Structure 1
Amino acid sequence: MNPDSRRHVCFLTGTLNAMAGAERMTATIANALAALGHHVTILSLWDTSSQFPLHPEVRHEAVFAQRPSFKRAYFATVAGIRRHCRAHRIDVLVQVDPMLELFVRPATVGLGLHHIAWEHCHFDEDLGKPARKLARRLAARFCRQVVVLTERDRSRWLEALRPRSEVVCLPNPLPFALPDAPAPRTQRTVLAMGRLVPAKGFDVLLRAWKIVAAQAPQWQLLIHGEGEERPALAALIRELGLEDSASLPGICHDPVQAYGNASVFCLSSRYEGFGLVLIEAMAFGLPIVSTDCETGPRELLDPGRDALVVAADDANALAQALLAVIRQPELAATLGASGRQKASRFALEHIAQRWDALVRAPG
């Protein structure tokens, strides 16, 4: 890289010490830009720990050691962001959530930064924070680019806000190299993965599994993840009598092994910003059973070609789709092969080059 085109890039995020998609992608893209020669920092609002490995050249700092009350610590947060940007001579500030615009706008007055807001949710979901609508309006007005994950979401930003910002669709990349070979799919295992929160619909999946387990008793369901719903989901497993066929093994620290040992992947979400796990499962040639939820699955999947897709919140439909891929090996193989072909489009090197172009773009 020409030294003149290197940028000092900061990714501003809440924390990296959470096993979740936005945090994982922050580490993945920051690492990729550092590998391309940019000077990269990650500024967490709290906690200097990271659940994900970081490139040796990526510097990770935090405004606070522990999560504060941001109402009480608002001005200290703004000051901390400004201090970091000046100390590291930041050129490009990537907000990993448009909500951060509420801090960034006052923190960077007069610094002349290239601002990018990175939306990991979808436009019609505020995650219980009404201020998110205001933050998105500010991002649409004051950021040079807003990065969204799907073309559907790009359309919603354009029609709802008529932004001054350029709205760029840039999907999440596969965070590991495309496997040389698909999973052998010899184990009778259905895999699901995600935070144990209501949005992921694991309660619906367990009710579907009650139907599946009665007709395919030799199969196992693994739901990898951690979160607030663990006690309720564990209780539901007991209530449904699924202790022998469904388990919650916790956070998946080796996704490559988990996908490699599965035969089917199921996404039961009520909504998704993108659905990175779908691309990961496709990379291993796993047949996909998914809900038809906004925004990622609806855009990523081609029903009947690389996935079986059912309505969200419909346990019976989910069960019938799972039984179809369990009982029809030819269908499962066809879906898996088509998905693996699609996953190659999301290779990290392609998407890293697009991020590189974004941060190097002249003002």
Structure 2
Amino acid sequence: MKPLPTLCFLTGTLNAFAGAERMTAVIANALAERGYPVLILSLWDERSCFTLHPDVVHEALFAQRPSFKRAYLATVNGIRRFVNRRHVDVLIEVDTMLTLFTLPATLGLKVRRIAWEHCHFDEDLGKPARRFARRLAARFNEAVVVLTERDRQRWVEALAPRQPVIMIPNPLPFAFPPKASERVSKTVLAVGRLTHAKGFDILLRAWEKVTASQPDWRLVIVGEGEERSALEALIRDLGISNCVDMPGLHRNIEEVYRQAALFCLSSRYEGFALTLIEAMAFGLPIVSSDCETGPRELVRNGSNGLLVPKEDSAALAAGLLRLVADPPLCAELANEARNSASGMAIAPVTERWQRLLQ
């Protein structure tokens, strides 16, 4: 029987509580559980926010994040040495930007390279080099993995890749909950990094309208990030400090969902929106901004959640108030949401990765 290939996930860092980093740990753990030799090479910081399977080996090239312009050659050489020393068969780039390093690092080596895109095709996150890196990945990688069918179509239309672009969604990072949230608290939950992309400023402006007519409801925003100070200042300016909590990171995110009654996603854009699947799994009625990739594929408006226009605090508030005032609608959305999330369990998603790695 042919031995399983040695896999290496190459990422920036695992010491950041964010979606791509979280999914790296989840998929690496799942493949290690199935017997694959799994390595994770972080470019910097050997610490991890996420629990790793005992058989997963995690190393880092640098103790702290360097300037990659100055450390470009050192990074390329470090990746090459690691791949040779660890006898890596498949190198999975947890960001298409990493193709800029892996392409020269693996020249002449018999290493399969797979790019794993966590952002959507039309967003470069302020880095024009990302568009160039995507072209390199489409031309030279064995495959590109994207999170949604809509994004797969954009890659194919825009770049005509030589190799396949494969859609593998992110899975639930925890076991499918045996019971839905009881939804007895008057709490609206939002989860994500405190960044501009997540649109929590839009949500807070919406909440000012919600609390004016529903003063006994609370908003809880779970996450951490560089926008905390600005968001806290906005909460004070809007006069809603008495009904908004921002407790920071929460290790037991399942309990956070279990204690909520509704879920809101206010993002300006998304690559996938894993938090929607998590909330659906707990049977939370959802109001989400209508991002082209992620929410638009996951949420069927009026069936398993509500979609509202992006960057529209009034529409977001109207959606939340509609659910607060309509328990029967909430029950219908919650039931259908759980049905939708049931197909996103870790096992079938891991099987799709295994088929790719054969």
Structure 1 and Structure 2 fold alike (TM over 0.5): yes
Alignment of 1:288 with 2:286, yes or no, is yes
Q: Deviations 1:46-77 (Å, cap 9, x if unpaired)?
A: 00000000000000000101100111111110
Q: Deviations 1:292-331 (Å, cap 9, x if unpaired)?
A: 0121001111000011110011111100100111111111
Q: Residue 172 of structure 1 corresponds to which residue in structure 2?
A: 170
Q: Residue 4 of structure 2 corresponds to which residue in structure 1?
A: 6
Q: Residue 237 of structure 2 corresponds to which residue in structure 1?
A: 239
Aligned ranges for residues 71-150 of structure 1 at < 5 Å? 71-150=69-148
Structure 1 counterpart of 2:118, one-letter code: H
In structure 2, how many angstroms separate the alpha carbons of the residues matched to 1:317 and 1:253? 32
Q: Structure 2 unaligned runs (5+)?
A: none
CA RMSD of aligned residues (A): 0.7
Q: Residue 260 of structure 1 corresponds to which residue in structure 2?
A: 258
In structure 1, how many angstroms separate the alpha carbons of the residues matched to 2:92 and 2:147? 15
Length, aligned pairs only: 358
Asked whether the equivalents of residues 273 and 294 of structure 1 are also in contact (C-alpha less than 8 Å), the reply is no
3-state SS of 2:295 partner: helix
Q: Residue 28 of structure 2 corresponds to which residue in structure 1?
A: 30
Higher mean alpha-carbon deviation, 275-284 vs 239-248, is at: 239-248
Structure 2 counterpart of 1:33, one-letter code: L
In structure 2, how many angstroms separate the alpha carbons of the residues matched to 1:215 and 1:356? 51
3-state SS of 1:244 partner: helix
3-state SS of 2:242 partner: coil
In structure 2, how many angstroms separate the alpha carbons of the residues matched to 1:40 and 1:12? 11
Q: Deviations 1:117-168 (Å, cap 9, x if unpaired)?
A: 0000000000000000110000000111100000000000000000012100
Aligned ranges for residues 209-248 of structure 1 at < 5 Å? 209-248=207-246
Cα drift, residue 114 of structure 1: 1.0
In structure 1, how many angstroms separate the alpha carbons of the residues matched to 2:251 and 2:325? 30
User: What TM-score, normalized by structure 1, do the two folds share?
Assistant: 0.98
Cα drift, residue 6 of structure 1: 0.7
3-state SS of 2:180 partner: coil
Structure 1 counterpart of 2:247, one-letter code: P
In structure 2, how many angstroms separate the alpha carbons of the residues matched to 1:142 and 1:120? 19
Q: Deviations 1:189-214 (Å, cap 9, x if unpaired)?
A: 00001011111110010000001001
Cα drift, residue 5 of structure 1: 3.9
Cα drift, residue 356 of structure 1: 1.2
In structure 2, how many angstroms separate the alpha carbons of the residues matched to 1:114 and 1:322? 47
3-state SS of 1:272 partner: coil
Q: Structure 1 unaligned runs (5+)?
A: none
Cα drift, residue 248 of structure 1: 1.0
Q: Residue 15 of structure 2 corresponds to which residue in structure 1?
A: 17
Cα drift, residue 358 of structure 1: 1.0
Cα drift, residue 252 of structure 1: 2.1
Asked whether the equivalents of residues 287 and 306 of structure 1 are also in contact (C-alpha less than 8 Å), the reply is yes
Q: Residue 278 of structure 1 corresponds to which residue in structure 2?
A: 276
In structure 2, how many angstroms separate the alpha carbons of the residues matched to 1:284 and 1:194? 17
User: What TM-score, normalized by structure 2, do the two folds share?
Assistant: 0.99
In structure 2, how many angstroms separate the alpha carbons of the residues matched to 1:255 and 1:149? 22
Identity of aligned residues (%): 61
Q: Residue 332 of structure 1 corresponds to which residue in structure 2?
A: 330
